[in-house]
Amino acid sequence: MSYLLNALVMLITLAFDAVVVLFLVRLAAEAGRADFRNPLSQFIYRTTNPVLAPIRRVLQNWRRINLAAVLVAWLLMLLKRLVLFALVGFMPHIAGLLVLALADLLDFVLMFYLILVFVWSLLSMLSNDPHQPLQRLLGAIVEPLLRPLRGRLVVGMMDFAPAAVMIVLLLGRILLAAPLLDLGTRLAMGG
C-alpha cells in the first residue's frame, strides 16, 4: 500500500472507532447503571440518543443491555470494513464481511474494557476524589467486571482483581476474537 493509502486507512479507522466508543460507553454506562447526573453521562446520552431513540422503539433492551447500541456499533464496524475493502478495490463475500464485523466488534469491546480497567486502576491509585466525573463514570462501567472478584484477590493492601480481569480480557482477545477474525477473513476472501 502507498503511504497516502495507509494514512487514509488510519484516519478512517480512527473516525469509525471514535463513534463506536461513544455507543459502547452508552451501552456500558446503562449496563452499569451509571449516575445520569454525571456531566459525562449526560454528554454521552445527548450525543447518542438521536440515533438510538428510533431504533429502541423497535429493538427493546434485553435486561440492562441496550441492543440498539450493540446494533449500531456492529453496523459501524460493518461499514468500516466495507469502506476499507473498497479502498483497496476488493469486494468481500457478504458472509465474511458479516463475521468480520462481528469479530471486529468483539475485539474492540474486549480492548475497550481492557483500557477502561487499566485507566480506572490508575485513577483510583492517583486520585482520591470520588466526585470526579470521569472516575465516577469509569467506576460504574468497570464495577460489573470487578464485582465477582472483589475482595478475593487481596494481598496485603493490594487488590489484584483489576489485573485478573485484564488477563481474562486479553485471553478473550486471543481465544475468541482472533479465531473469529481468521474465520471472517477466510470467508471474506472466498476460502
- Bridge partners (DSSP) of residue 159 are 154
Cell digits of residue 128: 482520591
Residues constituting the chain? 191
> What pLDDT shows up at residue 79?
97
% of the chain residues with pLDDT over 90: 79
Cell digits of residue 67: 441492543
> What pLDDT shows up at residue 126?
84
Question: Which residue from 97, 100, 142 is spatially nearest to 119, judged by alpha carbons?
Answer: 142
Please check the confidence at residue 131 and state whether its pLDDT lies above 90. no
Cell digits of residue 113: 474494557
pLDDT tens for each residue of 140-168: 999 999 999 988 888 888 889 999 999 99
Please check the confidence at residue 1 and state whether its pLDDT lies above 80. no
More confident residue, 131 or 102: 102
What is the C-alpha to C-alpha distance for residues 13 and 17, in angstroms, rounded to an integer? 6
* H helical segments located in 65-93: 67-87
Whole-number average pLDDT of the chain: 93
% of the chain residues with pLDDT over 70: 99
SS3 (DSSP) at 91: coil
> What pLDDT shows up at residue 152?
85
> What pLDDT shows up at residue 124?
84
Please check the confidence at residue 117 and state whether its pLDDT lies above 80. yes
pLDDT tens for each residue of 49-99: 999 999 999 999 998 899 999 999 999 999 999 999 999 888 999 999 999
Question: Which residue from 40, 66, 29, 44 is spatially nearest to 141, judged by alpha carbons?
Answer: 29
> What pLDDT shows up at residue 191?
66
SS3 (DSSP) at 63: coil
